[in-house]
Amino acid sequence: MLNADIPTLNATFGITRQITFVNGPGDLPMVSIQNSAAEATITLQGAHILSFQPHDQQPVLWVSQHALFEAGKGIRGGIPIVFPWFGPHPTDPSKPQHGFARTMVWQVLGTSAGAEGTTQVRLGLNDTDQTRELWPQAFALEYVVTVGSTLEAKLIVRNTDEAAYTWTGALHSYFTVGDVRQIAIRGLDGTMYLDKVDAMQRKTQHGELTFDSETDRIYLDTDATCDIHDPALQRRIQVAKQGSRSTVVWNPWIDKARALADFGDDEYLGMVCVETANAAADAVTLAPGAEHRLKAIITATSDVA
Ligand code: BG6
């Protein structure tokens, strides 16, 4: 069914003590999920996971204090969905950066209480006149979010068009860290990357990734799990993935943070993006009727070893 008002959404898809539809920040309709393991929220605009917090952890996802919660605007933090192009549009700079999936209103397809106390929400987005103006292809997206002690986010892209097409995209996850200058990301040693802050030069990662300046990299041809080691918060966030050949790592550092209207000047210290992506040379081509599954599996543990 097409999205209705909050009472109707609750009557149709609510689950007592697990799933409630509410007006979230900026009055954007939002799914609020609670179960024995964790809490999470997802706005219907963008199918945007805004928060995920296991009961024994600090918030896993980061959202800016300056984030905009407005119809048609992207939200700075959480997990925006990037589709059908990653970064600037390849030929038309007037089109929105990172595509349009993050700013469209998605439909609720279903909710369920799963095995082992998990809770699942399924959201969908199909092409419309509005999306075809930006990108002519026909598609059906389904986003399956499973909340337990681990957060699983699976984006299924189905080509409902009559011809093959190619897309890029990402689950653009922003993580909370204690101090980005102290963290280390492991899992990318030996991986080639495009350095977006150095004229897209191709480089190779040596050892773990640490941060002392603006960092914006597309690691290519990697299906590795990444671990964010965070000594300040004394925890490790593991980002495992499926159907993803690229990992994008981003921190805007000082100057870029100042230049972004929806990003506090000092907030770069408390966040890092590790994105489950298919970008640049890892673009996905789908035959008519074919589908691709892009999945991030996010687990936080109190462990800095
Ligand atoms: C990252 C890109 O994925 O997203 C960066 O690699 C970009 O180049 C960042 O600055 C944020 O993008 P946006 O459109 O949300 O400001």
DSSP character at residue 256: H
Atom of ligand 1 nearest to the CA of 80: 15
Q: Are 153 and 49 in contact (CB under 8 A)?
A: yes
pLDDT in tens, 164-176: 999 999 999 999 9
Average pLDDT over residues 250-271: 98
Tell me how far the alpha carbon of residue 101 lies from the centroid of ligand 1, in angstroms: 15
pLDDT in tens, 133-162: 999 999 999 999 999 999 999 999 999 999
Question: What pLDDT score was predicted for residue 4?
Answer: 72
Ligand 1 pocket at CB < 6 A: 74, 87, 97-98, 172, 196, 216, 248, 250, 275
Nearest to residue 271, comparing CAs of 181, 173, 175?
175
Asked whether residue 116 carries a pLDDT value surpassing 90, the answer given is no
Out of 2-6, 243-247, 257-261, 284-288, which region has the weakest mean confidence (pLDDT)?
A: 2-6
Q: Are 291 and 160 in contact (CB under 8 A)?
A: no
Instruction: Assess whether 206 carries a catalytic annotation.
Output: no
**111 phi and psi angles, rounded to 5 deg:** -140, 150
Catalytic residue among 48, 98, 172, 229: 172
Question: What pLDDT score was predicted for residue 115?
Answer: 77
pLDDT in tens, 277-302: 999 999 999 999 999 999 999 999 99
Atom of ligand 1 nearest to the CA of 76: 15
Question: What pLDDT score was predicted for residue 305?
Answer: 54
**Which positions ≥6 away from 46 have C-beta within 8 Å?**
74, 75, 80, 81, 101, 102, 103, 104, 106
Tell me how far the alpha carbon of residue 41 lies from the centroid of ligand 1, in angstroms: 22
What band does 27 get if pLDDT is binned at 50, 70 and 90? very high
Instruction: Assess whether 208 carries a catalytic annotation.
Output: no
Q: How many residues are given for the chain?
A: 305
Asked whether residue 71 carries a pLDDT value surpassing 80, the answer given is yes
Distances (CA, A) of 186 to 159, 208, 209, 274, 305: 34, 5, 7, 11, 12
What token pair was written down for 161? Answer: 């068009």
